[in-house]
Structure 1
Amino acid sequence: MTENHLEPQDKSRRVFIKNAAVAAAAFTIVPRFVLGGKGYTAPSDKLIVAGVGAGGKGQSDIANFYKSGKAEIGFLCDVDDRRAAKSVASFPKAKYYKDWRKLFDKEAKNIDAVSVSTPDHNHAVIALAAMQHGKHVYVQKPMTHDIYEARMLTEAAKKYKVVTQMGNQGSSNDGTRQLAEWYDAGVIGDVHTVYCWTDRPVWPQGIPWPTTKADIPKELDWDLWLGTAPEKNYVDKLVPFNWRGWWDYGTGALGDMGCHLVEAPFRVLGLQYAKDVQASVGSVYVDEFKRGVFPDSCPPSSHVTLTFPKTKKTKGDIILHWMDGGIQPERPEELGANEKFGDDGNGILFIGTKGKMMASTYSENPLLLPTSRTNEVHVKQTIARVPGQANGHYAQWVEGCLAGYGKKELSSPFELAGPLTEALLMANLAVRGNDLKGGHIKMLWDNQNMKITNFDDVNQYVKREYRQGWSLRA
């Protein structure tokens, strides 16, 4: 019998059932592979990211999160409209804020994760506030400006159970894992000395603070850019890049490149916290005979020596040399005359009891010395590689956030990035000690209490005083 031959009450019942079925279908959760084919990510399964610091490195960070295919850029925030312009154009649907505090106050419920790519001095306050809102965080290197801040963020990640990653993308490269596998297999014996070097700074350092006040660009909120730093007049060419050479905002060459170059020794040797540090710095001359001292600015070059105590992967203490400003270690005798030592002014050299190995920036191009050994020595792969390597560093964090705290392994979570950052900032204590007449001593570190025990003058830099109105509260 067709529908046309139903009795009125039966026909009404059939129409009701049909309509109810259609309505029910509208509320059915359909698997995402059905909706969008293989590899499709449903909007509900995407990570909503807020990018605080949308220009420069922040711009590329945000773009790389989006390229993962599993993140949506929901919000953008920058104190400088000029710097944010490209990201705003690339993500027109993202809501734009100038003040990250207003962003968090108004939009926290709509955000899953926060990327922080501001000058170093504001990393900690933004990242901690995000974690206190329960948001996962990605923070550009160095993780923080001060040792105290690094310790606070490391502890906060555990307390708030959020997924964290520092922006030293080389930690996801194959190179650092290859170095670890060679070392674990005993190819170069027991490492006792490491050298890391860079051609940085490539910005002005070792200079006095400019005395000429400049007009603040109308697109820039200078007070908000200063954030935790002391009140100062705006000066030309500080923004967007040259702030790196000033202690109030940046952490010098160590902060810029240390997280890329020292990461491999930390991973390969299982390093944690250093126990002592000493440094010498390059001189600045204001005339032919007089040495200039400009304590506001990082020095033009430095050589820092850190001592790390024995670990599960070493037979004794490890001496790590950091060199910047063009200073390099002695060229290994195993290296051929025409072979490059590192790359473009940057490199890493491990010295063991049975041999040496080296790598370039981001742990790329790992080599055994002499280099002919690289293709002759074969060891079993024991460490999983990160798909996409450097670009995979971003996708790894996105996927970790979607999976939840503790569900996926990351290359540079705060539990690893925190101690690495602290070591670099401890090195800066010794660098700054030269301006305080402490350059001639080996500074002894009390890790539990976060202080130098034999030269108290530098402890003021372990935890700096924030400008009034700014604080770091656990």
Structure 2
Amino acid sequence: MSDRNAKQAGNTRRDFIKTTFMAAAGFMIVPRHVLGGKGFTAPSDKLMIAAVGAGGKGQSDIANFYKSGKSEIAFLCDVDDARAAITVKNFPKAKYYKDWREMYEKEHKNFDAVSISTPDHTHAVATMAAMQIGKHVYVQKPMTHDIYEARMLTEAAKKYKVVTQMGNQGASNDGTRQLKEWYDAGIIGDVHTVYCWTNRPIWPQGIPWPDQKSEIPKELDWNLWLGTAPEKNYVDKLVPFNWRGWWDYGTGALGDMGCHLVEAPFRVLDLSYVKDVQATVGTVFIDAMKQGYFPDSCPPSSHATLTFPKTTKTQGEITLHWMDGGIQPERPKELGANELFGDGKNGTLFIGTKGKMMASTYGANARLLPLSMNQEVKIKQTLERVPGQSNGHYAQWVEAAIAGYGKKEVSSPFEIAGPLTEALLMANLAIRGYDIQETKASGKVDYPGRFIKYLWDNENMKVTNFNAVNQFVKREYRQGWSLGV
């Protein structure tokens, strides 16, 4: 994008937000089905959804909203016509756009809510703009690419009074609630340590950015796909999936699976913001004299250790271990030699003063250890279950949006999803800082980040003892793009 076009794009978005709020004051601040005030019955009880991202995960998200029976897919938007083709065919009445900014500007009177299923680096801008025009939002995990973005979206959800949900569908699973009921009943005592692990990445990581420029597919608008990210040449196989392994666009294994695996500890232990974090990472072997360090790419494996302050649910601080790249914690001695640890590839393990419990991906298949306890322990159900569980995660948001802000509960609103996302991105700070050396004001080069425990100032959103990684708390957007705050 040229400087002139970039400037025009930025001005267009700012003017759009400004004029939307000024025009028909009150009309666009709340969804159209609640405009009549208390007791008003809308002509239609269906939620009109505009979908940003219609292929891949967007395709399945849209299908799940439609299955709820209480929504209509009014508009579709995708930068890749080829990826969006199936959804466009399935919803022929939905008008199709390439640029969500154009769709918001032209159609904002004709939809109530937005579903955002795009690469991580564009979640925040599309979500913020939707909330600023009074639209309810469902955004895929992780909620944002950066810590600053997560904090801003969390605050904006309260300000604009819209119904929000992050797409970590395990938050609506029975297993997560079963874990909480066991813990609240004191079955495993006081939890002090948690392990979460995954076999991800299952895409390339720990590699250099390709030197060879590739031809952009004719169906893809590469400039729009880049969005907030720096200007770069298109490279083969980056789209539609391998972007996850590059820091400019994705958030690595933590971004992909962290919201699914760490959500249960957050809910069970009432966790919030991180106190400190440290990490070790795997490296690529090049030759006997050198190991690969490729700062553009997430590492092939990592182990991050996060400390959370004491909560109302614990007697002291909680240590949470995150492991990816196939790394797993030591098998609990209570688990039989042929009994599955987690689900084999992913899992969450709670260690308490009186016992242990674990779950699979999405908090599913909750189990006490040893497994024989699951037949012996019987407690009263205290938490309401979400009908349909993970599929119900979508219907739950649709129904809450129809009811209006504050009327119905959702499993992963931004007030919960924001701090969860920030914790994961905080771990990524330690992972990204692993090979960075910090130069002090005196000119002295300090130790690299691998030797550091990163101390977090939550109020000011910064690491206090290793300034070099604070550049990743809030990244600079490409010219023409803004979070609008």
Tell me if TM exceeds 0.5: yes
**For residue 404 of structure 2, what is the aligned residue in structure 1?**
404
**For residue 117 of structure 1, what is the aligned residue in structure 2?**
117
SS in 2 for 1:391: helix
**For residue 94 of structure 1, what is the aligned residue in structure 2?**
94
**For residue 445 of structure 1, what is the aligned residue in structure 2?**
456
SS in 2 for 1:144: coil
**For residue 220 of structure 1, what is the aligned residue in structure 2?**
220
**For residue 247 of structure 2, what is the aligned residue in structure 1?**
247
Q: Write the distance in 1 (CA, Å) between the matches of 2:44 and 2:174.
A: 32
Q: Deviations over 1:348-400 (max 9, x none)?
A: 00000000000000111110000000121011111100000000000000000
**For residue 137 of structure 2, what is the aligned residue in structure 1?**
137
**For residue 28 of structure 2, what is the aligned residue in structure 1?**
none
**For residue 199 of structure 1, what is the aligned residue in structure 2?**
199
**For residue 472 of structure 1, what is the aligned residue in structure 2?**
483
- After TM superposition, give the deviation of residue 287 of structure 1 in Å: 1.9
- After TM superposition, give the deviation of residue 122 of structure 1 in Å: 0.3
- After TM superposition, give the deviation of residue 42 of structure 1 in Å: 8.8
**For residue 27 of structure 2, what is the aligned residue in structure 1?**
none
SS in 2 for 1:44: coil
Q: Write the distance in 2 (CA, Å) between the matches of 1:380 and 1:359.
A: 20
* Equivalent residues, number: 434
- After TM superposition, give the deviation of residue 151 of structure 1 in Å: 0.3
SS in 2 for 1:45: coil
Q: Write the distance in 2 (CA, Å) between the matches of 1:114 and 1:283.
A: 39
**For residue 104 of structure 1, what is the aligned residue in structure 2?**
104
**For residue 292 of structure 2, what is the aligned residue in structure 1?**
292
Q: Write the distance in 1 (CA, Å) between the matches of 2:182 and 2:453.
A: 32
Q: Higher mean Cα deviation, 280-289 or 141-150? A: 280-289
**For residue 462 of structure 1, what is the aligned residue in structure 2?**
473
**For residue 71 of structure 1, what is the aligned residue in structure 2?**
71
SS in 2 for 1:331: coil
**For residue 178 of structure 2, what is the aligned residue in structure 1?**
178
Query: Does 1:367 find its partner at 2:367?
Result: yes
- After TM superposition, give the deviation of residue 187 of structure 1 in Å: 0.0
**For residue 32 of structure 2, what is the aligned residue in structure 1?**
none
Q: Deviations over 1:245-297 (max 9, x none)?
A: 00000000000000000000000000000100000000112223311100000
SS in 2 for 1:417: helix
Query: Does 1:391 find its partner at 2:391?
Result: yes
Q: Deviations over 1:30-76 (max 9, x none)?
A: xxxxxxxxxxx997110000010000011000010010000000000
Q: Write the distance in 1 (CA, Å) between the matches of 2:208 and 2:413.
A: 37
Aligned-residue identity in percent = 80
Larger radius of gyration: 1
Q: Deviations over 1:209-246 (max 9, x none)?
A: 00000000110000000000000000000000000000
- After TM superposition, give the deviation of residue 439 of structure 1 in Å: 1.1
**For residue 31 of structure 2, what is the aligned residue in structure 1?**
none
**For residue 355 of structure 1, what is the aligned residue in structure 2?**
355
Amino acid at match of 2:113: A
Q: Write the distance in 2 (CA, Å) between the matches of 1:380 and 1:419.
A: 30
SS in 2 for 1:114: strand
Amino acid at match of 2:425: L
Q: How much is the aligned-residue C-alpha RMSD, in angstroms?
A: 0.9
Amino acid at match of 2:476: E
Q: Deviations over 1:119-169 (max 9, x none)?
A: 000000000000001000000000000000000000000000000000000
Q: Higher mean Cα deviation, 371-380 or 198-207? A: 371-380
TM-score (norm 2): 0.89
Q: Higher mean Cα deviation, 433-442 or 99-108? A: 433-442
**For residue 328 of structure 2, what is the aligned residue in structure 1?**
328
Amino acid at match of 2:136: H
Q: Write the distance in 2 (CA, Å) between the matches of 1:97 and 1:225.
A: 13
Q: Deviations over 1:162-216 (max 9, x none)?
A: 0000000000000000000000000000000000000000000000000000000
Amino acid at match of 2:95: K
Q: Higher mean Cα deviation, 286-295 or 75-84? A: 286-295
Q: Write the distance in 2 (CA, Å) between the matches of 1:211 and 1:263.
A: 38
Q: Write the distance in 2 (CA, Å) between the matches of 1:286 and 1:81.
A: 39
Q: Higher mean Cα deviation, 372-381 or 166-175? A: 372-381
Q: Write the distance in 1 (CA, Å) between the matches of 2:263 and 2:52.
A: 25
Amino acid at match of 2:76: L
Q: Write the distance in 2 (CA, Å) between the matches of 1:310 and 1:448.
A: 17
SS in 2 for 1:286: strand
Amino acid at match of 1:375: Q
TM-score (norm 1): 0.91
Question: Which segments of structure 1 move beyond 2 Å, counting only runs of 4 or more?
Answer: none
Amino acid at match of 1:442: K
Q: Unaligned stretches of 5+ in structure 2?
A: 1-40, 437-447
Amino acid at match of 1:164: T
Amino acid at match of 2:429: L
**For residue 4 of structure 1, what is the aligned residue in structure 2?**
none
Q: Higher mean Cα deviation, 432-441 or 414-423? A: 432-441
Q: Write the distance in 2 (CA, Å) between the matches of 1:426 and 1:212.
A: 33
